[in-house]
Structure 1
Amino acid sequence: MSRIDLGLQRISRLLNILKCPQKSWKTIHVAGTNGKGSVCAYLTSVLNQCRIKTGTFTSPHLIHRWDSISINNKSIEEAEFAKVEEYVRKINETNEIGASEFELLTATAFEIFLRNRIDVAVMEVGLGGLNDATNVFEPGELIATIITSIGLDHVEFLGDSLTEIARHKAGIIKRGVPIVADGTNAPEVLKVLEQTAAAHNAPLTVVNNGNANADNVYQSSGFGSIPLTLALNGRHQRQNLSLALAALDIAKQHGLAGITNASVINGLKSVSWPGRLQFLRINGTLVLLDGAHNVESAEVLREFVHSQTGAPLTWLFAFSSTKKAQNVMSVIFKDKQISDRTIGIYTTEFGPVEGMAWVKPQDRHKLADIAAQFHANVESLPLSEALTAATSQKDGLTVVCGSLYLVSDIIRKISQSALH
């Protein structure tokens, strides 16, 4: 099955035949629209520093499909992935389960975690929560659930209101399992989370504005004071970091040994999450890569770009076919400082996405028509040409955004160039 088809029947049957590997460890389950990956990165880095054997599953992959699965903060090897994936696919085919690509990937991750004998899994929801393939854990198998910032995204699957989408995200809440929620969410979102938590007798911790004191320090109950020093770019990361710290506090209370003040601080120093407000140089030009593809993430990107130096800005956009490019560009270019600094916009298309044949790019010419509403200097080019043109202004800043698949293609191109 090569399309999105939400539901738990197929994945549950597949996991039952695999003898339920997900019951072999404890899990922190993370849902939300924005910030899920960053929260998972914070958790993984700290747990690794604590010498707790940790498996992490995030999506979508940045470069290769096996990048979605890591053990102790290191992506698994292609050979291991291929071997286990083949095993899972054969079970799927032999039993005529008809699992989707994401369900197969999820089951592969679980089987790899089992074979590596992990102690804790950090699991990012793929889409929504309630009917997502990762939502197969019983209450006793969970340490905590986390729900990050929720916005209007994937409306074709989750509904076109924040309330509807929040109900899907809240589907990961389980009876008696502590939940950590982003308190900056809209009131209607928090209402859904509060009601669902109460119905499931799940202790709810709402993290608001970092829950930090005037000295920008997070005060935990289990491992002391933690400075909210950010290894990842963007002011919003203070909130994501605080969500992770609240979950680690719960994990400490859960009995996980090794979570100490020093291990948490050292773990946070080494956290990395590529493709999100990431700086690098391409063709001698400073480039900012970011996967912003919805209104909420565009607001974060706009704030960050505004805070940078007044260098000329060049933009390179590509979007998935289901995303609202007009809304994203409107959010970015309503900032007069950014609009005035912009010297050009390029639109392009990303290539085929491995393992996700249903993901298609928007037509770059149609994107150029949208971009022309915001700037006079707009050009539509194939990716290689667009990247070369967009990085020709050596004293400026080139911002690449609109899709993580675009970011992935560019990182892949850079890696290939380095090899040659």
Structure 2
Amino acid sequence: MLINKQVQKKGVTSLDKIRSYNEVIEYLDSLTYAEYNESVLERMSAMNSLFDNVANKVDTILVSGTNGKSLTMHFAAKLLKEEDFKVGLAYSSNILTYNEHIVTDTQSISNKIFADILNEVINTAESNNIKATAYELLTIASLINFINEKVDVAILEVRYGGKYDATNICNPKIAALTRVAQDSAGLLNNDLDQVAFEMLETAKSGSWFISAEQSKIRLQKMKTVAIERGIEWAMPIRKLASLPYIYEQLFGRVASLGERIAQIYVEDIKGKFSPFLRGNLLITQKGQRGRPTLEAKRQSELNPVKTLKSFWADQFDLIRGRFELIDKENPSILLDNASNLDALTNLYLGIRLMHYKKPLKGLAIIIGFSKTLDAVECCKLIRYLTKKVNGSAFFVRLPGEIESHSPEELANIAKELNLKAKACSSLSEALDVAKGAIDGRDGLIAITGSQNIVTEFWKLRGIKKF
């Protein structure tokens, strides 16, 4: 049975329409994807009530912020799984299929279960005249699925802001905030402090709140408000997790936030002591000072202790579209969904580190910029990168509904900045031209600018589902 006795729906009749998987996809595609206003919470509260308060039948963790949300969830889930917790993940976006939104223990939801649950959610919304967006339907569906799958904890990605996001019907055990960057500034007239407070709204009285690195003044203001609201304040993240090279510099703080989420959930919420999550590389015998003895070293080699460093050495991986290197291609291709200056800066750092590790014989950046970004500043970032790694830019329009700068406009800006660049009519054309501009074996093509451009790449390859 789809919705078991734990989740009882109301107001649904036997005449409800049963859609196939493809029909469900068409239905979702026909809707507004998401909104951000008070009506979102009204609709979500109504659906939550119809499904017997599904949002509070499973422990939840909400992750908001600008960059690194999906990876924070991914890293936290890996650590929680290592501690024997079954974890559900609800992502706010997808590359190829809606199934990617709903993941349990690294496995996306199957087509059949996806269609079954969405049919019930859609029919319930329609029969109660709830004009829900696609994102709202997916959020309710993910919670229902996690209850059916009997997960211990569900980690949900806050799509945008926090206060009026669909996920904010949850009463989370933990609310985590990744780095707040300019991409979110349009939310509240370019005031990043106000944006951070908007995201703080995901935490409720009794919730833990964990922030990634922000400005000290902003953190102090948030701490004051959090404590006044009865929110448990955790020390902000500043250290880097011990990830393999080159990833420590790129994602070390994101992974560190994931570590802190896992530790607080395991120890402070579930009451299970975990030297592993505490970072047991620091554990020493009582009274021990200085370096360990030779005997202590020998014993540690004979009886190795599981550490976060050894865990990441064995288990580190990334998710689709996040510094995704396809190195079996000639030349290699790097896919990244970076869509703001902060994320692009991190991507370009990664390319430079790749070059320092093994020199690249040419770099081709295929990129488009949203109209929300300053085109000149974006081109200056590329110019700085190409001074470190010899390369060129190939500008395209971003696919989908995103309003983007025209390739011709960007090429003209690049010319004024003495940046080698070319305007291309499509991603397909850009790929063809880029391949001829770099070494076929040791060059690199980086494709970035939005999630949609990553989607377009896989569609060109004929890939419909991962």
- What TM-score do the two structures reach when normalised by structure 2? 0.77
Identify the range of structure 1 (103-112 vs 392-401) with the bigger mean alpha-carbon deviation. Answer: 392-401
- The residue that corresponds to 2:435 in the other structure is 391
* Partner Cα distance (1:416, 1:373) in 2: 38
1:166 aligns with 2:188: no
* Partner Cα distance (2:233, 2:202) in 1: 13
User: Which runs of 5 or more residues in structure 2 are unaligned?
Assistant: 1-30, 277-305
Deviations 1:264-303 (A, max 9, x none): 6547714432211221147510122222211211221222
1:240 aligns with 2:254: yes
1:180 aligns with 2:210: yes
- The residue that corresponds to 1:327 in the other structure is 377
Q: What's the CA shift for 1:415?
A: 5.5
1:22 aligns with 2:52: no
The 1:48/1:249 distance shift into structure 2, 3 A limit, reads closer
* Partner Cα distance (1:169, 1:417) in 2: 34
The 1:130/1:230 distance shift into structure 2, 3 A limit, reads farther
The 1:61/1:3 distance shift into structure 2, 3 A limit, reads closer
2:425 to 376, 381, 399: 381
1:206 aligns with 2:235: yes
- The residue that corresponds to 1:405 in the other structure is 452
**Do the aligned partners of 1:350 and 1:406 also contact (CA within 8 Å) in 2?**
yes
The AA in structure 2 aligned to 1:95 is N
Deviations 1:114-138 (A, max 9, x none): 2222110011111011111111122
* Partner Cα distance (1:382, 1:297) in 2: 23
The 1:196/1:418 distance shift into structure 2, 3 A limit, reads closer
- Higher relative CO (Cα under 8 Å, sequence separation at least 6) belongs to 1
- The residue that corresponds to 1:36 in the other structure is 69
* Partner Cα distance (2:141, 2:274) in 1: 29
Secondary structure at 2:333 match in 1:
strand
- The residue that corresponds to 1:287 in the other structure is 333
* Partner Cα distance (1:48, 1:412) in 2: 32
The 1:125/1:417 distance shift into structure 2, 3 A limit, reads closer
**Do the aligned partners of 2:237 and 2:257 also contact (CA within 8 Å) in 1?**
no
2:270 to 255, 277, 292: 255
Matches within 5 A, 1:333-348: 333-335=383-385, 338-339=386-387, 341-348=389-396
Q: What's the CA shift for 1:360?
A: 5.0
* Partner Cα distance (1:257, 1:411) in 2: 42
- The residue that corresponds to 1:222 in the other structure is none
- The residue that corresponds to 2:83 in the other structure is 50
2:185 to 152, 155, 163: 155
CA RMSD of aligned residues (A): 2.7
- The residue that corresponds to 1:355 in the other structure is none
* Partner Cα distance (1:258, 1:270) in 2: 23
The AA in structure 2 aligned to 1:47 is L
* Partner Cα distance (2:188, 2:176) in 1: 18
Q: What's the CA shift for 1:199?
A: 1.9
Secondary structure at 2:141 match in 1:
helix
* Partner Cα distance (2:230, 2:199) in 1: 17
**Do the aligned partners of 2:88 and 2:155 also contact (CA within 8 Å) in 1?**
yes
- The residue that corresponds to 1:314 in the other structure is 364
Percent identity between matched residues is 21
1:304 aligns with 2:304: no
- The residue that corresponds to 2:461 in the other structure is 414
Matches within 5 A, 1:34-183: 34-138=67-171, 142-182=172-212
1:368 aligns with 2:411: yes
- The residue that corresponds to 2:11 in the other structure is none
User: Which runs of 5 or more residues in structure 1 are unaligned?
Assistant: 213-217, 219-227, 353-357
The AA in structure 2 aligned to 1:307 is L
- The residue that corresponds to 1:229 in the other structure is 243
The number of residue pairs the alignment matches comes to 393
The 1:322/1:248 distance shift into structure 2, 3 A limit, reads same
Answer 1 or 2: which has greater strand percent. 1
* Partner Cα distance (1:332, 1:195) in 2: 40
The AA in structure 1 aligned to 2:64 is A
1:191 aligns with 2:220: yes
**Do the aligned partners of 1:325 and 1:402 also contact (CA within 8 Å) in 2?**
no
**Do the aligned partners of 1:51 and 1:258 also contact (CA within 8 Å) in 2?**
no
**Do the aligned partners of 2:337 and 2:449 also contact (CA within 8 Å) in 1?**
yes
Deviations 1:11-63 (A, max 9, x none): 11111111121212111211111111111010112222333121101121122
The AA in structure 1 aligned to 2:259 is L
The 1:103/1:368 distance shift into structure 2, 3 A limit, reads farther
- Larger CA Rg, structure 1 vs 2: 2
Q: What's the CA shift for 1:406?
A: 0.8
* Partner Cα distance (2:411, 2:328) in 1: 23
The 1:100/1:157 distance shift into structure 2, 3 A limit, reads farther
Deviations 1:176-234 (A, max 9, x none): 2221111x312343234223312222222233431x7xxxxx7xxxxxxxxx1348835
Secondary structure at 2:167 match in 1:
coil
* Partner Cα distance (2:343, 2:402) in 1: 20
* Partner Cα distance (1:367, 1:32) in 2: 28
1:349 aligns with 2:378: no
- The residue that corresponds to 2:44 in the other structure is 11
Identify the range of structure 1 (32-41 vs 278-287) with the bigger mean alpha-carbon deviation. Answer: 278-287
* Partner Cα distance (1:103, 1:373) in 2: 45
The 1:91/1:167 distance shift into structure 2, 3 A limit, reads same
**Do the aligned partners of 1:299 and 1:332 also contact (CA within 8 Å) in 2?**
no
Secondary structure at 2:166 match in 1:
coil
Secondary structure at 2:249 match in 1:
coil
The AA in structure 2 aligned to 1:59 is S
The 1:115/1:372 distance shift into structure 2, 3 A limit, reads farther
The AA in structure 2 aligned to 1:104 is L
* Partner Cα distance (2:455, 2:465) in 1: 15
